[in-house]
Amino acid sequence: MRNKNTPIAAEGYPFVVIAGFITLLFALLAWKVLAAFFLVVTLFIVFFFRNPQRTPRGDENAVVSPADGVVIYLGNAHESHLDEEMVKISIFMSVFNVHINRVPVSGRVVDSFYLPGKFLDVRNERATFENEQNGLVLETARGIKMVVVQVAGLIARRIVCYPKVGDMLHRGQRYGLIRFGSRLDVYLPKGVELRVSMGDKIVAGETILGILP
């Protein structure tokens, strides 16, 4: 799996190099304003693709957040891929949040899906049904299934997801990212003991969303 110990996500290196090269070019030409502008752009790209270490809290029954951000939806919802009524938690990631996504529970990837679509503002609930998205179905050692879905947003135009069907993933492990603002939808089984509320600011790989039944 990529980005295990790198301070910057590997997907960000091309952007950093290009922006850094443009900055150097303008500096050599003594175009100070443009050089300063692209220096800020370069630093922002480094900041955006930062890849901090995280330590999961709780035990294996504790579902950790797959993303940094704010809880913008929490309630019952029909998950179409499993065709079940589940508890849905939606997390909005702004461009200022860490964008590395992490595995919420230890388990095996038993299915995955990709749906092409629009790029609506992810704070609009229509984004769940209409936006480009990539999902994983995870099954724990106890046979509990859950779904985590990366949803592309208004600015985000590239979903990155490393695991394949059959892979064994571990809680808190990095599994992908979405470039430049996006949303994660997490579908948990009924009976989960929720530990977050609407509007909570949460941290990927550390904040406990709920306790599995």
Token pair of 122, please? 């992810």
Nearest by Cα to 177 from 8, 62, 5: 8
Burial of 51 (0-12, 13-18, 19+ CB in 10 A): buried
Strand partners, 31: none
- Return the number of other C-beta atoms located less than 10 Å from residue 197's C-beta: 8
Residue from 95, 170, 79 nearest 133 by CA: 79
Angle between helices 13-28 and 32-48 (to 10 degrees): 170
- Nearest alpha-carbon partner for 48 in 155, 125, 131: 155
Residue 102 to residues 3, 121, 187, 197: CA-CA distances in angstroms?
11, 22, 15, 20
Q: Which residues are catalytic?
A: 182
CB atoms within 10 A of CB 158: 12
